[in-house]
Amino acid sequence: MKNNNKEHMESIRVMFTPLTKQLLTEYVIRKYEEAADTSDYSLEIELMWLYHNNQLSELFVCEHTHSEERLKQASGYTTSRT
């Protein structure tokens, strides 16, 4: 059975994958700060670079370390009024 993952990855367009686009946007902003380019084209280039370099996990690590819920939990902040 032929593995089509590479073929599918090459055809991904972030305009059709809003959750992936959001992850990539946050990752790029954190990584490049003021120099971040969040255009669809640049996000797709970054995604392909991460994929080809076996570093897609960087997206999930960034999400985990910078998630609002995790930061609230780490600071002991709660939104509960009970």
Q: What is the dihedral of CA 20, 25, 27, 32, to 10 degrees?
A: 150
* 62, 27 contact by CB (below 8 A): yes
Asked if the structure places residue 82 within a domain, the reply is no
- Digit-coded pLDDT (tens) for 23-74: 999 999 999 999 999 999 999 999 999 999 999 999 999 888 887 776 677 6
- Digit-coded pLDDT (tens) for 9-26: 777 888 998 999 999 999
Please report which confidence band the pLDDT of residue 81 belongs to, taking 50, 70 and 90 as the band edges. Answer: low
Domain that holds residue 46: 5-75
Asked if the structure places residue 54 within a domain, the reply is yes
Asked if the structure places residue 81 within a domain, the reply is no
Q: So what's the pLDDT on residue 2? A: 52
Structural domain count of the chain: 1
Stated pTM of the model? 0.74
For helices 18-32 and 40-52, what crossing angle results, to 10°?
80
For tokens 């370390």, the residue is 65
- The DSSP code sequence of 17-51 is -HHHHHHHHHHHHHHHGGG---SHHHHHHHHHHHH
Asked if the structure places residue 80 within a domain, the reply is no
